[in-house]
C-alpha cells in the first residue's frame, strides 16, 4: 500500500447528518457521494488520516473491501473469500467480525458473521500457506470487520477509526444528558453563527455545544488529540498521521477573540464544562457561569443562541418541561435580532415557547427523534455606503 493507492472509503454517520458530512468531505477537496446514513468517496491513506482527523459530524471512516450479491451462505462464503484480505490483514491479525442484515434472505446475523469469519480465515490460510489444523493466532493488530447485508447485497468493510469520532478526547465527565460531540458540531454548522457574533448556550450542561463552536471558530481539528485504529496497522505509513496532525496544528487560528457565553442552572455541570473546555484547548474562548435561563438577558444584538434543554422524555412527562419552554419564550422572543436554535423531542415545543419556528429540521439525538427549531433573527441592515450624493 503506497501513499498513492486509491481505496474505496465510506464515512458512516447518524441519519440526518449525511449532507453535513458530505459538505465537510468536499471542504477537504475530496469528491463524494451522499447516501442514507453514509457518504462514499475514494481516497488514499492520507485521506483516511485527514478525514479521521478533520470530520466533525461523521461517526467513522471505513475501507470498503467489496460488495456483491449474496442470497445463500455458499455465495456469501465464496464472495468474501474472493476479496483481497491479504492486502490488509497480516497473518497474525486480530479480526473480529460484526454483522448486520436488513431486508435480506440471509437474515441470521450470527450465521452471516461466522460464515464471513470462516471465509477470511480460509483465505488467509491459503495465502499464507497455513494448515487447516492450526488455528490463526490473532495476536497481532486489530482490524474490525463488518459484513452488512442490505437488499441481498453484502458489503465488507474494515473500520479505520476505532472508538467513534464523536469521542474527541476532551470530555472527561459527561453530566446527565450530554449531546454527542458530532451532534453538537452539526447543530452549530446548521446555524448562521460566525465567529464575530455573540453565541450563547444557556443550558450548556457539560459544555459540548460551546466547545464545538469554539473548535470550529478556531479551525481546531476535532481529532487532533485522539488515536485511531489505523495507527496499529503495519502497512499504514506511520508518518502520515503525524504529518496530517502537524498540518492541522499549523492551521489553527490563533488571533481571534470569541464572544461565547455558556450557562447552566447546575453549578457542578459548569465545573465539568470548564474542565472539558480546558482539555479541548478553548477555555479562554468561553465564559462559563451558573445561572437559571430565566435570568438571561443581554444588551447585545445579532447574536445566536443554541440550546439543548431538558426534554422531559426521561421522566416520561412532557408537562414537566412546559413551564420551562414557556419561560424560554418569554426570555428569547423579545430578542428580535437574535437567531435562536432549540433542539427538543417535544412536538408541542412551539406552542409552549409561544412562537412558530422559521424552520424545523428533523434529527436524531442517539435513538431519539428530535426537531431542531430554528428562529431566525432580524438581519443586520447593510452598512450604508454613502458616496457623493448617492445612497446605495
Residue 214 sits at the vertex; the CA angle it makes with 210 and 219, to the nearest 5 degrees, is 150
In the complex, what is the shortest distance from the CB of residue 289 to ligand SAH, in angstroms, rounded to a whole number? 10
Q: Which is nearer to ligand SAH, 157 or 276 (CB)?
A: 276
Give yes or no for a contact between 305 and 197, defined as CB atoms under 8 angstroms apart. no
Q: Kindly state the smallest distance separating residue 222's Cβ from ligand SAH, in Å.
A: 15
Site string for ligand SAH, 172-191 (x = CB under 6 A): ---xxxxx------------
Taking the least distance from each CB to ligand SAH, the nearer of 222 and 310 is 310
Tell whether residue 209 is a contact of ligand SAH (CB under 6 A): yes
Q: How many residues bind to ligand SAH according to rule CB under 6 A? A: 22
Q: Which is nearer to ligand SAH, 69 or 323 (CB)?
A: 323
243-260 burial string, b = 16+ CB within 10 Å, else e?
ebbeebeeeeeeeeebeb
Please say which residue, 292 or 369, places its beta carbon nearer to ligand SAH.
Answer: 292
Site for ligand SAH in 252-281 (CB under 6 A): 264-266, 269
**Segment contacting ligand SAH by CB under 6 A, of 170-178, 332-340, 362-370, 378-386:** 170-178
Residue whose C-beta lies closest to ligand SAH? 205
Site for ligand SAH (CB under 6 A): which residue of 113, 203, 339, 365? 203
283-342 residues in contact with ligand SAH (CB under 6 A) are 292-294, 308-310, 324
> 85 or 166, CB closer to ligand SAH?
166
Based on CB atoms, which residue is closest to ligand SAH, 141 or 308? Answer: 308
Kindly state the cell numbers that stand for 80.
468474501
Backbone angles phi, psi at 89, to 5 degrees: -100, 120
Task: Report 74-133 residues binding ligand SAH (CB under 6 A).
Answer: none
Cα distance between residue 83 and residue 86, in whole Å: 9
- Least distance from C-beta 25 to ligand SAH, angstroms? 25
Which one, 22 or 175, has the nearer CB to ligand SAH? 175
Where on the chain is the footprint of ligand SAH (CB under 6 A)?
A: 175-179, 202-203, 205-206, 208-209, 264-266, 269, 292-294, 308-310, 324
Amino acid at each position: 500500500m503506497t501513499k498513492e493507492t486509491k481505496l474505496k472509503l465510506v464515512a458512516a454517520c447518524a441519519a440526518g447528518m449525511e449532507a453535513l458530512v458530505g459538505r465537510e468531505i468536499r471542504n477537504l477537496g475530496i469528491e463524494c457521494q451522499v447516501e442514507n446514513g453514509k457518504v462514499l468517496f475514494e481516497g488514499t491513506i492520507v485521506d483516511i488520516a485527514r478525514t479521521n482527523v478533520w470530520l466533525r459530524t461523521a461517526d467513522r471512516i471505513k475501507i470498503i473491501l467489496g460488495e456483491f450479491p449474496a442470497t445463500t451462505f455458499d455465495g456469501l462464503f465464496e464472495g468474501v473469500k474472493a476479496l483481497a484480505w491479504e492486502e490488509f490483514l497480516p497473518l497474525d491479525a486480530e479480526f473480529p467480525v460484526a454483522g448486520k442484515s436488513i431486508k435480506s434472505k440471509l437474515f441470521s446475523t450470527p450465521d452471516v458473521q461466522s460464515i464471513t469469519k470462516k471465509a477470511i480465515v480460509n483465505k488467509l490460510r491459503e495465502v499464507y500457506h497455513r494448515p487447516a489444523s492450526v488455528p490463526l493466532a490473532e495476536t497481532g493488530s486489530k482490524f474490525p470487520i463488518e459484513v452488512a447485508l442490505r437488499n441481498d447485497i453484502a458489503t465488507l468493510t474494515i473500520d479505520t477509526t476505532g472508538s467513534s469520532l464523536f469521542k474527541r478526547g476532551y470530555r472527561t465527565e459527561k453530566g446527565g444528558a450530554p449531546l454527542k460531540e458530532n451532534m453538537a458540531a452539526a447543530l452549530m454548522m446548521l446555524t448562521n453563527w460566525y465567529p464575530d457574533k455573540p453565541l450563547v448556550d444557556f443550558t450548556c450542561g457539560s459544555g459540548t455545544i460551546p466547545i464545538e463552536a469554539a473548535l470550529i471558530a478556531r479551525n481546531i481539528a476535532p481529532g487532533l488529540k485522539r488515536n485511531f485504529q489505523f495507527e496499529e496497522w503495519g502497512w499504514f505509513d506511520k508518518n502520515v498521521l503525524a504529518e496530517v496532525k502537524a498540518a492541522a496544528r499549523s492551521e489553527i487560528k490563533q488571533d481571534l477573540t470569541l464572544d461565547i457565553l455558556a450557562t447552566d442552572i447546575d453549578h457542578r455541570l459548569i465545573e465539568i464544562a470548564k474542565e472539558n473546555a480546558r482539555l479541548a484547548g478553548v477555555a479562554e474562548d468561553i465564559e462559563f457561569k451558573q445561572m437559571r435561563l430565566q435570568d438571561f438577558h443581554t444588551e447585545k444584538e445579532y447574536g445566536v443562541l443554541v440550546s439543548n434543554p431538558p426534554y422531559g422524555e426521561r421522566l416520561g412527562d412532557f408537562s414537566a418541561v412546559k413551564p420551562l419552554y414557556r419561560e424560554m419564550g418569554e426570555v428569547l422572543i423579545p430578542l428580535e435580532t437574535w437567531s435562536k436554535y432549540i433542539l427538543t423531542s417535544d412536538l408541542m415545543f412551539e406552542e409552549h415557547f409561544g412562537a412558530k419556528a422559521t424552520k424545523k429540521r428533523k434529527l436524531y439525538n442517539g435513538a431519539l427523534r428530535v426537531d431542531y427549531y430554528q428562529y431566525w433573527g432580524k438581519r443586520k441592515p447593510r452598512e450604508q455606503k454613502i458616496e457623493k450624493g448617492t445612497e446605495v
